[in-house]
Amino acid sequence: MRHLLGIAGWRRDELEALLDRAQEHLPGGPEASHVLRGQVVANLFFEDSTRTRSSFEVAARRLGADVLNWSFAGSSVSKGETLLDTARNIEALGPAIIIIRHRSSGAPHLVARHVKCAVVNAGDGAHEHPSQALLDAFTLRQRWGSLDGRTVLIVGDVLHSRVARSNLVCLKALGARVVLCGPPTLLPPGLEEMGGEVTHRLDAVLPQADAVMCLRLQTERMAEAFLPSQREYSRLFGLTPARVERMKPDAPVLHPGPINRGVELSPAVADGPRSVILEQVANGVAVRRAILERCAS
Amino acid sequence: MTSVLFQRARVIDPRNGVDGIRDVLVTDGRVAQVSEAPLVAPKDARVVDATGKWVVPGFIDLHVHLREPGEEGKETVLTGCRAAVAGGFTGVVAMPNTKVVNDSALVTELVLSRARDADLCHVYPAGAITKGLKGEELSEAGELVGAGCVALTDDGRPVMNAALMRRVLQYATLFDVPVMVHEEDLTLSAGGAMHEGATSTRLGLRGIPASAEVAMVARDLVLLEETKGRLHVAHVSCEGSVRLIREAKKRGLRVTCEVAPHHFTLDDRAVGDYDTHAKMAPPLRGDADVKALREALVDGTVDAIATDHAPHGVSDKLVEFEKGINGIVGLETALGLTLALVHEGVLTPRRAVELLSEGPARVFGLPGGHLAPGSPADITVVSPGEEWTVDAHRFYSRSRNTPFHGRTMKGRVSQTWVGGRCVFEDGQLKESR
């Protein structure tokens, strides 16, 4: 059984092979695979995420699977059932793959240790969001052919971001240089050990970036005193048209969504020519098809 | 009259400056004679051939959770005492954070009564600093000490209110008992699940910075200096804390401290892929902290090795890491982990024994801890070279929560004697009932 719990531990050739396969799943690609025909894929979402859940659902259906959508709201979990009990109950329904989103880092690892089917991590706490990182890498590779020697700048709340961690590991593995930028309170220790470079001066690094990836800022970070205000964050780290002017001419802007318009990104940037946000969403289905196929193999 | 003669033992008795091959005669529950020349066994004496073994003062654990009253499914005084003697401990200090909290003579007496029923090792209750461990009102220390408590502690929780902490340090001088503290600034540790560092970042877990402990140690040392009280810092986990305690000791403050075997053995990387068996409070720290703790064990900054034995049920650990309950069982692995430092050349055998027996007895003023004639015959016999593999399923403790399951250890408890009676021998309990 091939789980996908994170990007950490993957070799470059494995990542490249998966991205190559995803390429074949793009619209207009070769004959569709129905490797999951007659099988069940369970979407086990303990946290709301219409975007990721829908993307996995479309991907699973394109592979011929029946999709079981299970969500936290009104479920047995709210009645005190443990994660493992829930997972075992879902497993008893016989899915080939369980896709799990959970607010606790490591939750998919716990499930994977105790079920027989494949487990896909669809985002766990502040740990990893591997399918997002793969679709981001896919989107960049589509533009550049290769990530070798490219500099990707990740801006924002790295501390709480699973997207940032998965991307750091994934982009590094594929040959890119990764620079992480944000206020000191939102950049945790040890990022250098994971291969990243750290800076707090956005304007100074923007000209070096071949791509800029903005992270979503949660409003509760102000209440927790990581930041004085959204306004100040936006002033120091928001991507505005003026800042885009400082970027390399063709450097794209990525965002995992959903966007806080006017906070991480000015509306003009979010909807502007540099934005590849909707390409990311579209690529997500192809990448997730490749992931599910791999888990089924 | 009952007698025991230990022959040809390597007797290590740090307080009395003994480390050499001796015969030890025990009569009527007390050490009668320790002799370089072979002793003649009295009639009817049990003779123990201790060739190749160490005969040392019984170990004393200053930090044990027996869970009774209230959580008997995890441990009871009886099962905790079984685990203690299986680990070579002849005395344990029982923490008050039971459910009912030990903040009154009634609970102290209950624990002592259960310990008498168990009839295996000495149980010394510690009383709560504040009523219900709420950190608001002082519990009646006089009553607690009168009933048999040997220390005051809100263990498991810090005393966040500095004024209250200052007062208990002052007030406890009335009874000359140590105030034992769990040092954690809750505003710094809030939401944290493990040590803050590269590993917590990689795993995406909220970190607990070392400053959560060090800042409180600093605060309490300032209060200690002002109050001339007695402070015992429980389960010290990081470099900054030992540095402050070392300096305070040099300046003559009455501060003592203990370190748990897991903190000098493992670092935060032991969390691996979210292994809740490596989740404890304070958390496993970074490798520089582990190194600093080892230095502090050697240079005398640390007074005692204490296990923080914290039994929990399987379901408490079989959950998401953030939800996992803190703590591991420690009584039955403490000797092996301590001797690992001896085999690595970090500690001398004498210092290891001092940290397990003489040191803890001294800091809490407990009987035992040495083998001078007339002292209680609380004795641990150690097979220092015997290899064994930890099997948590065979623990005498009622709980199995340990990260050391499967680890090979060198050095094992051969016998445990309490008051001249053999209570544990060759892996088997010798219960009187």
Q: What is this model's ipTM?
A: 0.94
Kindly give the residue spans of alpha helices, DSSP state H, lying in B228-286.
239-250, 261-265
If 0-12 CB within 10 Å is exposed, 13-18 middle and 19+ buried, where does residue A29 land?
middle
Contacts for A246 with CB less than 8 Å, ≥ 6 apart? A203, A206, A207
Residue B353: name the closest of B364, B374, B368, B375 by CA.
Answer: B368
User: Closest-CA residue in chain A for B195?
Assistant: A189
Please tell me the distance in Å from A205's CA to the nearest CA on chain B.
23
Residue A190 has its nearest CB partner, among B201, B273, B323, at B201
Q: Which residues of B are catalytic?
A: 308
Sign of CA dihedral B55, B58, B62, B63: positive
What amino acid is encoded at B129 in this protein?
I
On chain A, the residues whose CB falls within 8 A of the CB of B315 are 82
Kindly report the three-state secondary structure assignment for every residue of B296-325. HHHHCCCCEECCCECCCCHHHHCCCHHHCC
Annotated binding residue at A208? no
Residue B274 has pLDDT above 70, yes or no: yes
Q: How far apart are CA A227 and CA A220, in angstroms?
A: 10
* Buried b or exposed e, range A257-266, using 16+ CB within 10 angstroms: bebbeebbbb
Summarize pLDDT for B373-409 with one digit per residue, the tens.
Answer: 999 999 999 999 999 999 999 999 999 999 999 999 9
On chain B, the residues whose CB falls within 8 A of the CB of A163 are none
Check CB contact under 8 Å for B323 and A104.
Answer: yes
Summarize pLDDT for B330-378 with one digit per residue, the tens.
Answer: 999 999 999 999 999 999 999 999 999 999 999 999 999 999 999 999 9
Task: Share the mean pLDDT of chain B.
Answer: 97
Annotated binding residue at A216? yes
Beta bridge partners of B123: B92
Check CB contact under 8 Å for B321 and A105.
Answer: yes
Please tell me the distance in Å from A128's CA to the nearest CA on chain B.
8
Peptide bond into B14 cis (omega under 30): no
* Per-residue model confidence (pLDDT) at position A80: 79
Beta bridge partners of B305: B259
Sign of CA dihedral A119, A125, A129, A132: positive
Residue B7 has pLDDT above 90, yes or no: yes
Check CB contact under 8 Å for B318 and A82.
Answer: yes
Q: How far apart are CA B168 and CA B253, in angstroms?
A: 16
Chain B, window 164-203: residues with a beta carbon less than 8 angstroms from a chain A beta carbon: 196-203
Q: What are phi and psi of B56, to 5 degrees?
A: -135, 160
- Does an H or E element contain A184, and which? none
User: Closest-CA residue in chain B for A188?
Assistant: B201
Q: In the block, which residue shows the tokens 């490249």?
A: A16
Q: How far apart are CA A87 and CA A81, in angstroms?
A: 10
A7, A72, A104: best mutation site toward chain B, by most B Cβ within 10 Å?
A: A104
Maximum Cα–Cα distance for chain A, whole Å? 55
Summarize pLDDT for B34-46 with one digit per residue, the tens.
Answer: 999 999 999 999 9
Cβ contact A181:A18 at 8 Å: no
Ranges of chain A with pLDDT below 70: 1, 73-78
Is the minimum CB–CB distance between B315 and chain A shorter than 8 Å?
yes
Is the minimum CB–CB distance between B323 and chain A shorter than 8 Å?
yes
Please tell me the distance in Å from A180's CA to the nearest CA on chain B.
13
Q: How far apart are CA B10 and CA B281, in angstroms?
A: 37
Please tell me the distance in Å from A89's CA to the nearest CA on chain B.
16
Q: How far apart are CA B4 and CA B225, in angstroms?
A: 47
Q: How remote is the C-alpha of A279 from its chain's centroid? A: 14
Please tell me the distance in Å from B406's CA to the nearest CA on chain A.
18
Residue B320 has its nearest CB partner, among A107, A128, A162, at A107
Check CB contact under 8 Å for B206 and A126.
Answer: yes
Check CB contact under 8 Å for B202 and A8.
Answer: yes
B320, B321, B322, B323: best mutation site toward chain A, by most A Cβ within 10 Å?
A: B320
| Mean pLDDT (whole number) for B315-333 | 97
Q: What are phi and psi of B429, to 5 degrees?
A: -75, 145
Q: A151-155 and A177-181: which strand pairing?
A: parallel
What amino acid is encoded at B58 in this protein?
G
Residue B204 has its nearest CB partner, among A83, A125, A191, at A125
Summarize pLDDT for B63-91 with one digit per residue, the tens.
Answer: 999 999 999 999 999 999 999 999 999 99
* Per-residue model confidence (pLDDT) at position A29: 79
Sheet containing B59-64: which strands, arranged edge to edge?
B59-64, B89-94, B122-125
Q: Tell me the CB-side half-sphere exposure of residue B294, using CA atoms within 13 A.
A: 23
3-state secondary structure of A75: coil
- Does an H or E element contain B385, and which? strand B379-389
On chain A, the residues whose CB falls within 8 A of the CB of B199 are 190
Check CB contact under 8 Å for A102 and B320.
Answer: yes
Q: B3-13 and B46-49: which strand pairing?
A: parallel
Summarize pLDDT for B132-175 with one digit per residue, the tens.
Answer: 999 999 999 999 999 999 999 999 999 999 999 999 999 999 99
Beta bridge partners of A197: A179
Annotated binding residue at A79? yes
Cβ contact B231:B224 at 8 Å: yes
* Per-residue model confidence (pLDDT) at position B307: 98
Beta bridge partners of B31: B26
Q: How far apart are CA B392 and CA A234, in angstroms?
A: 53
Chain B, window 248-277: residues with a beta carbon less than 8 angstroms from a chain A beta carbon: 273-274
Please tell me the distance in Å from A189's CA to the nearest CA on chain B.
6
Residue B204 has its nearest CB partner, among A165, A189, A193, at A165
Maximum Cα–Cα distance for chain B, whole Å? 67
Residue B301 has pLDDT above 70, yes or no: yes
| Mean pLDDT (whole number) for B183-197 | 97
Q: A97-102 and B231-233: which strand pairing?
A: unpaired
Check CB contact under 8 Å for A190 and B200.
Answer: yes
Residue B203 has its nearest CB partner, among A82, A106, A191, at A106
* Per-residue model confidence (pLDDT) at position A28: 83
User: Closest-CA residue in chain A for B196?
Assistant: A189
On chain B, the residues whose CB falls within 8 A of the CB of A194 are 198, 201-202
